[in-house]
Structure 1
Amino acid sequence: MQNKHKKKICIVSRSLSEGGADRVAAMQSIFLTDLGYKVFIVTVLNSIKYPYKGELLNLGEIKEQNDTFIGRLKRLLIFRKFLNKNSIEVIIDHRVRSKAFSEYIISAFIYPKETIYMIHSYAIHLFFPPNKWLTKLLYKKSKKIVCVSHGIENLVKESYDFKNLKTLYNPIDFSYINQLKQEKNMESSPFIFWYGRLDNEVKNLSLLIASYQESLLSKKGIKLILMGNGKDKSLIENKIIKCKLKRYIKILPFSINPFSYINSSRFTVLTSRFEGFPMTILESLACNTPVISVKYDNFEDGVINHKKNGLLVDNHSISALADAFNTFVEDEKLYNHCKSNAKISIEYLSVDRIAKEWQNLIEA
């Protein structure tokens, strides 16, 4: 699968540590390297946890030494010098890009012509400067704007009328997951599992806790385990205490291996208000673990097939989510049916297949 001409590609990411976008960027560095490309990675923050391949420029380390205005300008110059020195031909940018001035400098004066901008969320305002005129100026001539779902692509088209749009789904590295899911975890009691960023406004963890409280799970000895870090950790802990659920709900810190917990859980849960193409669902199904998900904004382009590999319920309804929890505990036939379909339902998202789609885009 080697290319005759090994293009030099730079992947730009917030970090390589937490969240689906970071995970996709790290995976991308591996499969593009394996395809024969010379890969470079630039991270904005000093947080490197996921495995990757390529030469890394960690701007976060430099930022920690000097985060003044002058320091930011120096980092931009270092970034530009890095791209020029390594003769970068293609940029793949996974960052949020909502600051007009810095994005104008980066897109107009630092990036090469062949730049691919990623849109990872239905909250598309995070990935474009607020000035619509500036956004159209900066992005209409890019090589491609890649969205991780058709719903996002349609929203971007409606909002900006771009012609250079394409949907490429997030990939799943089954070999990587199969290896890590075998590791032992410390939990001996039955449990359900949620993992991600502890941000209540986006992830709606209040709904998750209230639905767990209303369900029969605690009475049946089935715990709720949350895994992740974030600004609302204290808020969530206080909700757990207020609901008198401290015996039943546990919060674990972020780990690069949630898969052993996914693999051991009865099912995983997603309660977000909006998503892109959530890796948490894909990774759960890859472990043969069914998912209960609310109908978040953009859920239509997701991979949950109701009563086939999981359950879909109305968002914001405590009772509906609680009833779904009860169903997956009490209806063994339905649960086993969903579990048996979980992994096979996403085989079309294998990293090898998605890598070929990326190769076609880069070479176009």
Structure 2
Amino acid sequence: MLSDLGYDISVVSVLSGVDYHFSGNHLDLGEMKNDDASFFGKTKRMSAFKNFIDENKFDFIIDCRPKNVSLREVFIYRHIYKNRKVINVVHSHHLQTYFISPKWLSKVLFKNCFRIVGVSQAISAKIETVYGFKNVTTIYNSVKLNTSKNSEIPLDFPYLLYFGRIEDSIKNLSLLLASYKQSSLNEKGFHLVLLGDGPDKEKLKNFTKQLKLQNFIHFLDFTLNPEPIVSRAKCTVLTSHYEGLPMVLIESLSLGTPVISVEYNSGVKEIVKNGHNGLIVPNYSSNELANAFNRFFEDEALYLRCKENAKSSVAKFEMYNVSKQWNSLLQNS
């Protein structure tokens, strides 16, 4: 996105590999860790990181990493990022993932960041409330559609969709399966598809068998291009315990697919307008979610209205609009 605006971009990845296009230099700390995960290997990675920052003389450092190890962050911010303009990006309403303990240490360490960027207004407001920072702003994550013409999908039935990581402790997919069971959708021929990989796939497959719904609940493997499956879904469903700015909702709506989401104290209401482009229901209630499923497919006028409004409702998340915000932030430094 920023390279399209003429910025020279370099990437430091803490996990091995980068699965998106970028231009510029790349330091793969994840690959270095795979080669040597010892304490000595850690010191080599930190040294390589510091040399990379020093040699490139960046105007800005945009740091999107989780930051939950206090000693590591003190070293990085005091010795590697020292005297540089750092933009700390916070992707989750679960602030413990992005700010170290104790709280006073986070206040000291991050107060001099050039900016702290929350990816939703709710996240930014929580940061200001909890830490009292005055250098907080909101810039949404952007969505860019894959223009692939390949639209073949292995599904020949109407379906609801979840796509993302199959990790029940975060995504609460047990609630999704139980709610589908309580609804009348399978009786009406609507299936449920879960698209993605993760540690709990087998556990949830077993739960599906316990529910006796293995003919109606389907698990598909992760794909780099989920758009054909998303665009043909009747709706996308999200049931997580917590989120930051749920990109699956934005991506789904941008493809014209309405959504049903449980309520969070984060960015859901900045994406979903209840009854306009989807439905929002209280979290942790299989009855409420099952009723929402039934309502969405029994009330044709409601469903068609949400589908018609889907694409236009997420215009503010388009890459062009988000890139203008980033450009303004960097240019007005």
Correspondent of 1:78 among 24, 34, 48: 48
Provide the rounded CA distance (Å) in 2 between the counterparts of 1:57 and 1:190: 44
Q: Does 2:260 correspond to 1:292?
A: yes
Whether the aligned pair in 1 keeps the contact of 2:68 and 2:100 (CA below 8 Å) is yes
Q: Does 2:286 correspond to 1:318?
A: yes
Provide the rounded CA distance (Å) in 1 between the counterparts of 2:106 and 2:66: 13
Report the 3-state secondary structure (helix = DSSP H, G, I; strand = E; otherwise coil) of the residue aligned with 1:38. Answer: coil
Q: Which letter maps to 1:33?
A: S
For residue 108 of structure 2, what is the aligned residue in structure 1?
A: 137
Provide the rounded CA distance (Å) in 2 between the counterparts of 1:33 and 1:97: 26
Provide the rounded CA distance (Å) in 2 between the counterparts of 1:288 and 1:152: 26
Correspondent of 1:278 among 235, 246, 270: 246
Report the 3-state secondary structure (helix = DSSP H, G, I; strand = E; otherwise coil) of the residue aligned with 1:340. Answer: helix
Whether the aligned pair in 1 keeps the contact of 2:245 and 2:268 (CA below 8 Å) is no
For residue 149 of structure 1, what is the aligned residue in structure 2?
A: 120
Q: Which letter maps to 1:277?
A: L
For residue 234 of structure 1, what is the aligned residue in structure 2?
A: 202
For residue 95 of structure 1, what is the aligned residue in structure 2?
A: 65
Provide the rounded CA distance (Å) in 1 between the counterparts of 2:315 and 2:273: 14
Displacement of 1:359 after TM fit?
A: 0.9
Displacement of 1:116 after TM fit?
A: 0.4
Provide the rounded CA distance (Å) in 1 between the counterparts of 2:55 and 2:274: 51
User: 250-259 vs 134-143, which deviates more?
Assistant: 250-259
Whether the aligned pair in 2 keeps the contact of 1:273 and 1:297 (CA below 8 Å) is no
For residue 216 of structure 2, what is the aligned residue in structure 1?
A: 248
Q: Which letter maps to 2:329?
A: L
Provide the rounded CA distance (Å) in 1 between the counterparts of 2:315 and 2:163: 22
Correspondent of 2:85 among 103, 114, 123: 114
Q: Which letter maps to 1:66?
A: D
Provide the rounded CA distance (Å) in 2 between the counterparts of 1:106 and 1:361: 23
For residue 63 of structure 1, what is the aligned residue in structure 2?
A: 33
Cα separation, partners in 2 of 1:111 and 1:181, compared to 1, 3 Å? farther
Length, aligned pairs only? 331
Provide the rounded CA distance (Å) in 1 between the counterparts of 2:264 and 2:305: 24
Displacement of 1:182 after TM fit?
A: 5.2
Whether the aligned pair in 2 keeps the contact of 1:181 and 1:259 (CA below 8 Å) is no
Provide the rounded CA distance (Å) in 2 between the counterparts of 1:147 and 1:118: 6
Provide the rounded CA distance (Å) in 2 between the counterparts of 1:127 and 1:133: 14
For residue 27 of structure 1, what is the aligned residue in structure 2?
A: none
Q: CA RMSD in A?
A: 1.4
Whether the aligned pair in 2 keeps the contact of 1:149 and 1:301 (CA below 8 Å) is no
Displacement of 1:181 after TM fit?
A: 7.2
Correspondent of 2:312 among 344, 348, 361: 344
Q: Does 2:114 correspond to 1:184?
A: no
Superposed CA deviations along residues 64-113 of structure 1, whole A, max 9, x for unmatched, are 01001110110011111111222222111111100011111111111252
Provide the rounded CA distance (Å) in 1 between the counterparts of 2:47 and 2:151: 43
Provide the rounded CA distance (Å) in 1 between the counterparts of 2:316 and 2:294: 30
Displacement of 1:47 after TM fit?
A: 3.4
Correspondent of 1:172 among 140, 143, 153: 143
Displacement of 1:205 after TM fit?
A: 0.7
Counterpart mapping for 1:211-222 below 5 A: 211-222=179-190
Displacement of 1:310 after TM fit?
A: 0.4
Name the TM-score, length of structure 2 as normaliser: 0.96
Task: Give aligned-pair identity as a percent.
Answer: 39
Name the TM-score, length of structure 1 as normaliser: 0.88
Q: Which runs of 5+ in 1 are unaligned?
A: 1-30
Report the 3-state secondary structure (helix = DSSP H, G, I; strand = E; otherwise coil) of the residue aligned with 1:216. Answer: coil
Report the 3-state secondary structure (helix = DSSP H, G, I; strand = E; otherwise coil) of the residue aligned with 2:155. Answer: coil
Superposed CA deviations along residues 105-147 of structure 1, whole A, max 9, x for unmatched, are 1111112520000110110110011221221121000100000
